[in-house]
């Protein structure tokens, strides 16, 4: 399918790329999108990442995703359905060639929504964790080559640990909602 996993150095242009795409999405979806967030490693200053802008769109109800498909396709996105994660609709751009953007469409305040923001915000507040996560990702990319599923699974322990630390710092209990 794809080549080896690429972890690029942090690019200060990533936040601007997100903001431009966010404006285009808002123009296409209007009030269908309750909230739009920049998530994933490209949303954390200083963190090297796969050079793909991760966008999370929160809907009031996930059933509303169907009304979003055509407008997002008009922006060059391909809808892949839940794509292996129940409760999330996945879109990628462009349809062919190397991916530059991906959308995770979920219910606003769902477990997926909360976990992704907890992780992002924790890393933004803890630069020492950013460095540790970057080193982990570089090592895993070398180890797993083009095996994206293996690479992703191998990061899970670090991510869950960071989420737990973020919950503890906020005094929030529980995991899945």
Residue 125 has pLDDT above 50, yes or no: yes
What pLDDT does 172 receive?
A: 77
Sign of the CA dihedral 171, 174, 155, 10? negative
Residue, of 2 and 46, whose pLDDT is higher: 46
**Alpha carbon 85 to chain centroid distance?**
13
Over residues 44-64, the mean pLDDT reads 97
Residue 21 has pLDDT above 50, yes or no: yes
Residue 77 has pLDDT above 70, yes or no: yes
Give the residue extent of every domain in the chain. Answer: 14-170
Question: How high is the mean pLDDT of the chain?
Answer: 95
Q: Model confidence at 176, in pLDDT bands (50, 70, 90)?
A: very low
The pTM score is: 0.93
Over residues 135-152, the mean pLDDT reads 96
> How would you write the chain as a 3-class SS string?
CCCCCCCECCCCCHHHHHHHHHHHHHHHHHHHCCEEEEECHHHCCCCCECCCEEEEEEECCHHHHHHHHHHHHHCCCEECCCCCCCCCEEEEECCCCCCCEEEEEEECCCHHHHHHHHHHHHHHHCHHHHHHHHHHHHHHHHHHCCCHHHHHHHHHHHHHHHHHHHHHHHCCCCCCC
Query: Domain 14-170 - what CATH class?
Result: alpha beta
Over residues 13-25, the mean pLDDT reads 98
Residue 177 has pLDDT above 50, yes or no: no
Cβ count near 86 (within 10 Å): 6
What pLDDT does 171 receive?
A: 86
Q: Kindly report, residue by residue over 29-43, the tens digit of the pLDDT.
A: 999 999 999 999 999
Over residues 82-99, the mean pLDDT reads 95
């Amino acid at each position: 399918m794809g080549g080896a996993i690429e972890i690029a150095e942090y690019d200060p242009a990533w936040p601007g790329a997100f903001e431009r795409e966010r404006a285009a999405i808002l123009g296409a979806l209007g009030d269908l999108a309750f909230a739009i967030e920049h998530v994933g490693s490209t949303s954390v200053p200083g963190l090297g990442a796969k050079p793909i802008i991760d966008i999370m769109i929160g809907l009031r109800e996930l059933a509303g995703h169907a009304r979003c498909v055509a407008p997002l396709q008009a922006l060059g996105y391909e809808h892949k359905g839940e794509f292996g994660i129940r409760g999330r609709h996945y879109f990628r751009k462009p349809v062919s060639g190397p991916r530059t953007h991906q959308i995770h469409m979920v219910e606003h305040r769902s477990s997926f929504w909360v976990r992704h923001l907890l992780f992002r915000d924790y890393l933004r507040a803890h630069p020492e964790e950013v460095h540790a996560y970057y080193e982990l990702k570089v090592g895993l990319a070398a180890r797993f080559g083009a095996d994206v599923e293996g690479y992703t699974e191998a990061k899970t322990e670090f991510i869950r640990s960071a989420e737990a630390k973020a919950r503890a710092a906020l005094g929030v209990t529980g995991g899945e909602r």
